[in-house]
Amino acid sequence: MQDNLKENIQDEVGAFEEVLQETSVGQAIINVLEFKILDFSYGTGEDAHQIVLKTKYLILVVLVMLLTTIVLRWVKKLVTRRMPKEDKVKFNTVFSFTRWVIYLIVILVVFDAIGFNVTAVFAASAALLIGVGLALQTLFQDIISGIFILIDRSVQVGDIIEIEGKVGKVEEIKLRTTRAVTIDNKVLIIPNHQYLTNSLYNWTQNGKVTREHVLVGVAYGSDVNLVKKILLQAADSHDMVLKHPAPLVFFENFGDSALEFKLVFTLNDSFIGAIPKSDIRFEIDKLFRENNISIPFPQRDIHIKSNVTEGK
């Protein structure tokens, strides 16, 4: 099939040249078309390869590329015509990468069909291609990871994610990177390959409502029931804490220096969870002072032994 395509192209080009040769202007055009942009040999003996790139071949490639662009635009418009907006954005992102792969394949097929020795070019630039491949290794990892993210929907625009200790709200997912904004309005650019090499915490994949907690320790001898009441009161007093499910208090442990409690409550926007948690701590400290409940600090008993040696 490829040989037939090559013969058809050569026949059509030859017929076009015969028509042009009938006039002087046509002869001038033929001279331009036959101009050799590249003409060199590679290898010796039986391994020798002649690489020739003429103007007419280059023009043919440009025309084929234009035709390919028109066809791809038509296919894109046909496929995305009835897609939901969210799916359309994902398709466009993947399509932008696929389009360049198609362009590369078309160029190689056209050059090979017109007799341009593509294999010889690759052989001549093998070392360069290996170097480029190694340099672009991370880039391809990012692109493949981006496609996986868009397909399996592990991360979506609007999600709150945590990766390598950094938290941000996803604003845009591109083929190579993900753009997120932190709570202090700093832009976080995440290379997509990090999703494959690091643990990702998606705070909002199950919804924006999340369970948060505040840890606190009180001195031994404190009224634990009063402590529980105060902690629940501090949580209920905040506007961002949901009433359902209701806040809970856990008596976690008898610590070395304190009785350890855990206040658990529900927020409807975990992205700004640090703000209500801070407010609740302020309220707990205030209520503890009003009720004479102290928050101890770690204490250690130090025993010093001295050995006195009496001289004789």
- pLDDT tens track of the chain, all 312 residues? 555 655 665 565 555 555 555 555 556 666 666 666 656 565 565 655 566 667 777 787 788 888 888 988 888 888 777 767 666 766 776 777 778 778 888 877 777 766 666 666 566 566 666 666 666 677 777 777 777 777 777 788 888 888 888 888 888 887 788 889 988 888 888 888 887 778 888 887 777 788 899 999 999 999 999 999 999 999 999 999 999 889 999 999 998 889 999 999 998 877 788 889 999 999 999 999 999 999 887 766 676 776 655 554
State the DSSP string of 81-137: TT--HHHHHHHHHHHHHHHHHHHHHHHHHHHHHTT--HHHHHHHTHHHHHHHHHHTH
Q: In whole angstroms, how far apart are CA 279 and each of 184, 199, 250?
A: 18, 30, 20
Q: What is the pLDDT of residue 277?
A: 93
Q: What is the pLDDT of residue 141?
A: 78
- CA nearest to 67, candidates 101, 98, 96, 107: 107
Q: What is the pLDDT of residue 19?
A: 54
Scanning 163-273, the segments in alpha helix (DSSP H) are 194-197, 224-236
Q: Which letter, b or e, does each residue of 195-231 get, where b requires 16 or more Cβ atoms within 10 Å of its Cβ? A: beeeebeebbeeeeebebebebbbeeebeeeebbebb
Q: What is the pLDDT of residue 42?
A: 55
Q: What is the pLDDT of residue 312?
A: 44
Evaluated on CA atoms 267, 272, 278, 279, the torsion sign reads negative
